[in-house]
Structure 1
């Protein structure tokens, strides 16, 4: 069964998006995202797909989860209408299922996820899409951190959460 990994970046107040966009530039986090999701199956919602401007992420199987069975997706994206269908594709490819947004898809996968990779940015945006705080059922370990510099608008910490065996 494919491992289900959720990956996102957020500000201290939980903001993951503002006006349909990610309102920051943290090159180290983008590099981490690219390396972590490369050669995996990425699962996203319609709005996340639209934010990619019709360009699927290279070297990945790009899945769009939607209830709209007739949604037209650009070349390189594959439409799936259920979580089970997405998981079957990841299983068949023997890849991790990397959930990359948006909030509704994260919320659907949080109860069954195996791992969370969350980048916390040292800022607040008071955006219009916010994640809820992570509950105590996860063991967490600091993966990486860095300061603000010419490549990163803000200092950051990347945390690796693994589901506790007693949850």
Structure 2
């Protein structure tokens, strides 16, 4: 059975984006993201794909979940029109799904997910897209990693790994 994991970073108020971009630079978080998604099928929406400036994530199958059949995607990305199609592709490739944004895609897969990896950035920066608080009655969390502000990271952070109760 294909495992579905949602991965995102957020500020104290739940911000995940500003103007369709990630408004911070956390090198450690990018390393963790890479480790969690390598050799997996990653699923994203159109805005997340566009934020990659035409460059798919290497060593991953890059799926764009969309309802827009006329959407043009750069080489290295593949359109899918349903959750079921993404699951089928992952099953046929023998790997798991990593859901990487944006918010509508997270919402579409949330009820199917077995794991969440959430990076909590210790900042009050406020953007225009926010995730809801992880429901602790549904999810049990353990700390996966943590770090401090330095030349590679804009903010102190902790990464929580949640599993469904």
TM-score (norm 2): 0.98
Q: What's 1:115 paired with?
A: 115
For structure 1, which runs of at least 5 residues remain unmatched after alignment? Answer: none
Structure 1 residue 125: Cα displacement: 1.6
1:162 maps to 163
1:104 matched to 2:136: no
Task: Give the Å deviation of 1:109.
Answer: 1.1
Mapped partners of 1:112, 1:125: distance in 2: 30
- Partner SS state of residue 101, structure 1: coil
> RMSD value over aligned CA atoms?
0.6
Q: Distance in 1 between the 2:124 and 2:13 partners? A: 6
Deviation of 1:94 (Å): 1.0
Paired residues in the alignment total 164
SS at match of 1:48: helix
3-state DSSP of counterpart to 2:55? coil
Instruction: Give distance in 2, aligned partners of 1:107 and 1:87.
Output: 16
User: How far apart are the structure 2 equivalents of 1:69 and 1:124?
Assistant: 38
The match for 2:142 is 141
Which residue is 2:24 aligned to?
Answer: 24
**1:21-100 residue pairs with structure 2 within 5 A?**
21-100=21-100
Tell me, in whole angstroms, the C-alpha distance in 2 between the residues paired with 1:118 and 1:26. Answer: 13
Which runs of at least 4 in structure 1 moved beyond 6 Å after TM superposition?
A: none
**Corresponding residue SS for 2:56:** coil
**SS at the partner of 1:105?**
helix
In 2, distance between residues paired with 1:128 and 1:44? 18
1: distance between equivalents of 2:35 and 2:142? Answer: 19
- Partner Cα separation in structure 2 for residue 94 and residue 114 of structure 1: 17
Q: Distance in 1 between matches of 2:124 and 2:62?
A: 30
Instruction: Tell me the TM-score normalized by structure 1.
Output: 0.97
Measured after TM superposition, the shift of residue 35 of structure 1 is: 1.2
Structure 2 unaligned blocks of 5 or more: none
**C-alpha distance in structure 2 between counterparts of 1:61 and 1:20, whole Å:** 22
